Structure 1
Amino acid sequence: MKIQGFVCRRDGLKIHGTVFRPKVPAGVRLPTVIVCHEFMANRLFSFPYAYNLARNGYAAFCFDFNGGGIVSQSEGISRNMSVLTEMDDLLAVVDFVGRQPYTDGCGVVLYGCSQGGLVCALTAARMPDKVNALILQYPALSIPDDARKGKMIKTEFDPNSVPELLHCGPMKLGRRYAADVMDMDVSQATVGYAGRVLIMHGDKDTLVDISYSEAAFERYRQAGAQVQFAIIEGAGHIFVKPKHIKQANRCVTDFLSK
């Protein structure tokens, strides 16, 4: 297996990432997956999934969102970050991936966790012809509803008068983090993708209720997508126990092999 760093840019900001890929003869082009991390996190959280994908023949790209984590190699600041800026980051990575000599150029699989899952779902709906499959792992489809309630993660505010600065635990967020999703209808914004979809969610998730994934499963099904829904028993939000990570990897491997 080859593990290499990469750098691309979005609006002049450097995006740092890591690609995991199997060792293959020169000239062999690989199918690709882009794994998107959670809010406050970084690409290290994606490594167990990227490693599994590379073992199964994929070039798996992980990256740090600009301003998206407490510890991040990418540029940008958290006060300028929102779901929409993370979509722009992902689009920049999609473009970069498609230009690599070892990728097959035949579309990508988008794999998003938590907030990264919402970002992937929105991005897939924007460019459905370029997305071969969509994997949503405990997707934070609740974010727009949370903004409208004025309760997002560890911060509370008046949704009718969002302050310029939101203190969210160790991260300082700007007004746009809430404002950019305040009027977003997730069901309408994501239904544009009707390809292959895998949704995974822990039944002990207390941050994003599993009902959001259940509703997404039904929406994708009604839109004609080939959608699967896997409940990870005993798992909360973010899979930290090895058995839950292994179960997620098995679900992904089985899904992509069909």
Structure 2
Amino acid sequence: MNHPITIRSGEIELSGVLQYPVVPEGAKCGNKYPLVIVCHGFIGNRMGTDRLFVEAAERLTRSGYLVLRFDYGGCGESGGDYGGGGLDALIEQTRTVIDYASSLDLVDSERLILLGHSLGGAVAVLTAARDSRVKSLVLWAPVAHPFMDIRNIIGTKAIEEIENVGKTDYMHYQFTKRFADSLAQYQPLTELRGFGGDVLIVHGTADTVVPVDYCFLYQKMFWLRKEGNCDKEVILQGDHTFSSKTSRDELFDISLRWIDAVGKRRSDWSLWTI
């Protein structure tokens, strides 16, 4: 069952949908469920390219998970101006969504997972490093160097125009100097040490938007932390949005198995007493 929601974040309203887990007929409904919050990428939306997040949510809810998908400000059906803010605004909006989710009685606060794709992956990392309510991270083709990676997408001329004129247009979005400056300000690869939970990184070898090498770099940096595990999976011929049926099925299978395993491990540990 899908429940449309609106979440107030500062002066704007974020549009989203809360999807409830599928409970077999005749089975008792649990009191609390693990929750996956989806963080979409650069100028994306809660549906994802070719319904990536819709299909992912369907798989997750069939396996007993709550899923919350939302549009960042200025994207999809949310209000606000995406290009006028920066990564700080995206982090704050993500934390506001976590505030909303944490207030729900049916959410298991010990199993709150951020799933981020592309730039949303970087935002998920930066959010988790600042918010202890995030217990696990699933990163799909995550951006590692926000300024360089977004510059490669919108083009060097656009960045030069921002520096000279103060703004530029890209795909009908207007990006300001604040946005560009914030991309250079935040460094997910160094800030990730603030997060002590488990992480899964999945990347495709045919990704022409975000280099597949990033998954190896991310894993190395995550393993340098004092606590928390990091697993990675590379999907052969997978592109940036895992658009083929084969790569998308593999993406979902890998992610769901990992999320289930982390949940089981947490449950097993909870049976131990000191």
TM-score, normalised by the number of residues in structure 2 = 0.85
The answer to whether the aligner puts 1:204 opposite 2:201 as a matched pair is no
1:102, distance to aligned residue in structure 2 (A): 1.9
In 1, distance between residues paired with 2:22 and 2:236? 35
Matches within 5 A, 1:35-54: 35-45=38-48, 46-54=53-61
Counterpart residue number, 2:69:
62
- Equivalenced residue count is 250
Q: Relative to structure 1, is the Cα distance of residues 184 and 104 closer, same or farther in structure 2, using a 3 angstrom cutoff?
A: closer
Residue 158 of structure 1: SS of its match in structure 2?
helix
Q: Residue 169 of structure 2 is aligned with which of 167, 179, 191?
A: 167
The amino acid of 1:78's aligned partner reads Y
CA distance in 1 between partners of 2:17 and 2:164 (Å): 36
Deviation per CA, 1:214-245: give whole Å up to 9, x if none: 11111111214311101011011112222222
Name the structure 2 match of 1:91.
95
Matched AA of 1:217: Q
The equivalent position to 1:236 in structure 2, one of 233, 239, 243, is: 239
| Equivalent residue letter for 2:210 | V
Structure 1 counterpart of 2:116, from 112, 125, 128: 112
Aligned counterparts of 2:39 and 2:164: Cα–Cα separation in 1: 27
Give the letter aligned to residue 15 of structure 2: H
- Alpha-carbon offset, residue 132 of structure 1: 1.8
Does 2:159 match 1:155?
no
Query: What is the aligned-residue RMSD (CA, Å)?
Result: 2.0
By how many angstroms is 1:82 displaced?
A: 2.2
- Unaligned 5+ segments in structure 2 are 262-274
What secondary structure sits across from 1:199 in the alignment?
strand
Q: Which has the larger radius of gyration?
A: 2
For the residue of structure 2 that corresponds to 1:33, the secondary structure is strand
| Aligned 8 A contact 1:162 1:178 in 2 | no
User: Which contiguous aligned blocks of 4+ residues in structure 1 show a shift greater than 6 angstroms?
Assistant: none
Q: Report the residue type matching 2:69 in the other structure.
A: C
Q: Which residue of 2 aligns with 1:33?
A: 36
Deviation digits for residues 127-157 of structure 1 (CA, Å, limit 9, x no counterpart)? 2x3122100000112213346xxx3412322
The answer as to 2:260 corresponding to 1:253 is no
Equivalent-residue separation in structure 2 for 1:63 and 1:48 (angstroms) = 15
CA distance in 2, matches of 1:187, 1:114: 14
* Structure 2 Cα separation of the partners of residues 122 and 31 of structure 1: 21
In structure 2, relative to structure 1, the CA distance for the partners of 1:231 and 1:26 (3 Å cut) is: closer
Q: Secondary structure at the match of 1:166?
A: strand
Q: Using the TM superposition, give the Cα deviation of residue 170 of structure 1 relative to its aligned residue in structure 2, in angstroms.
A: 3.4
Partners of 2:217 and 2:36 in 1: how far apart?
25
Letter in 2 for 1:3: N
Look up the match of 1:74.
78
Q: CA deviation at 1:171?
A: 2.4
**Contact 1:48/1:245, CA 8 A, preserved across alignment:** no
Which amino acid is 2:155 matched to?
T
Q: Which moved more, 1:98-107 or 1:194-203?
A: 98-107
SS at match of 2:47: helix
**CA–CA distance in 1 between the matches of 2:209 and 2:221?**
21
Q: Quick one: which amino acid aligns to residue 72 of structure 2?
A: F
Go from structure 1 to structure 2 and tell me whether the alpha carbon gap of 1:99 and 1:209 turns closer, same or farther (over 3 Å shift): same
Percent identity over paired residues:
24
> Which residue does 1:188 correspond to in 2?
190
Q: Contact 1:194–1:220 (CA<8 Å) still a contact in 2?
A: no
